[in-house]
Structure 1
Amino acid sequence: MLVIGNKLKYTVVLWGALLISCSEPTVTPLTLPLLSGEKAHIPDLHGKLTWVNVWSTRCTICVKELPALEALQREYAERVQVVTVALPTDPPNTVLDVQTKLQLTLPVALDLDGQAARQFAPDLVVPSHHLLDADGDILYQTKGKLTLAEMRTMLEKHIFPPLSQR
């Protein structure tokens, strides 16, 4: 009887460990300064999904992606907060130059102390994309270039899930 009890105890501990390891990673909430002088809250305080893009002014792929992120922000503003976060190694005046040149209106955040980079791009590989729910759970993340169509596809999966998941 004692052996069965130990096996049951071991099974419960094992299943608990599996559930924890399979759960979605969660980010620590951040408040970042925007070039506009306002603050960006990650995750969104109003219950929207948050699309975080970590980029660098020295990354040509990153800079070419910014207009697509601008379009994503315009199309999904009711349900999604899009925040671009420049690496802490990018001087604020250089980030501002890119924002001005591309006429970006989406939130452009500065990661002055590196908190966002440590969470979203600890290896400093950019661009990196992260979709968070309102609780900060990571729903999707990838590194490398994404097209606007790929961004839309990913958002649609989480905004309008298949009927089987509702």
Structure 2
Amino acid sequence: MPIESPSRRHVLQASLTVASSALFARAGAQGLTGPAYEVSPWPGPLTAFSLVDTSGKTWRPADFKGRAVLLNFWASWCEPCRAEMPTLQQMADLYGPEQLLVLAINFKEAPARALQFAKRTGITLPVLLDVDGQAARRWGVKVFPTTLAIDRHGQPRLRVQGEMDWTGKAAEKLIASLL
């Protein structure tokens, strides 16, 4: 093993420092640092739809009257979805379905798998089934989780892409704007 001169060692260390700084700067520019979610306006439209939940109930926009709604698109294979789901449940429990309806829309999984996930994790939110992915496509959902927010007047308002802590201050402000 050759012995490196102090000047060569310093050049290598400086090169590594510059390379790692550039890597971290690029990661920040790509959104890999900071919050794990992005909130943007969702102008809609809230098109007519009909989705069945794991208990066999059919859900339509007419079921939302007078309450704010979160449509959370998720899948059991999605780690951020699994991490976010308990905070969605806590927030739904806090507000109650009369004030804030949270619907967990499972993306393209077998109904038994979605139901198994809900039972295993203690999720009591209505789990709707987007078995063919049409609802996700219709509303431009390409990132999981994605939550679409509708205000109590039935107007589409916000899109949250990525994992959000629904028990935090940012979520509290978001929900307040819908009520």
| Bin of the TM-score, shorter chain as denominator length | 0.7 to 0.9
Map of 2:99 onto structure 1? 79
Aligned to 2:70: 51
Q: Distance in 2 between matches of 1:67 and 1:99?
A: 10
Q: What residue is the counterpart of 2:177 in the other structure?
A: 157
Are 2:151 and 1:126 equivalent residues in the alignment? no
- For the residue of structure 1 that corresponds to 2:138, the secondary structure is helix
Letter in 2 for 1:103: G
In structure 2, the CA distance between the partners of 1:44 and 1:36, relative to structure 1 (3 Å rule), is same
Mapped pair 1:39 → 2:39: no
Deviation digits for residues 72-99 of structure 1 (CA, Å, limit 9, x no counterpart) = 21112231111010112x1211111110
Deviation at 1:67, TM superposition (A): 1.0
TM-score (ref. length: structure 1): 0.72
| Structure 1: distance between partners of 2:49 and 2:72 | 14
> Which residue number corresponds to residue 13 of structure 2?
none
What is the match of residue 141 of structure 1? 159
Aligned to 2:125: 106
3-state secondary structure, aligned to 1:84: strand
Gaps (5+ residues) in structure 2? 1-40
Match for 2:106: what amino acid?
Answer: A
Q: In percent, how many aligned pairs have the same letter?
A: 26
Aligned residues: 136
Q: Secondary structure at the match of 1:153?
A: helix
Does the 8 Å CA contact 1:29/1:43 hold for their aligned counterparts? Answer: no
What amino acid does structure 2 have at the position aligned with 1:69?
L
1:96 matched to 2:118? The reply is: no
What RMSD in Å do the two structures reach over aligned CA positions? 2.2
1:140 aligned partner, one-letter code:
L
Residue 50 of structure 1 and its aligned partner are, at CA, apart by 1.0
Determine the C-alpha separation between the residues in 2 that align with 1:28 and 1:38: 19
Give 1:18's aligned residue: none
Offset of residue 135 of structure 1: 5.8
Equivalents in 1 of 2:72, 2:86: separation in Å?
12
TM-score, normalised by the number of residues in structure 2: 0.68
Larger-gyration structure (1/2)? 2
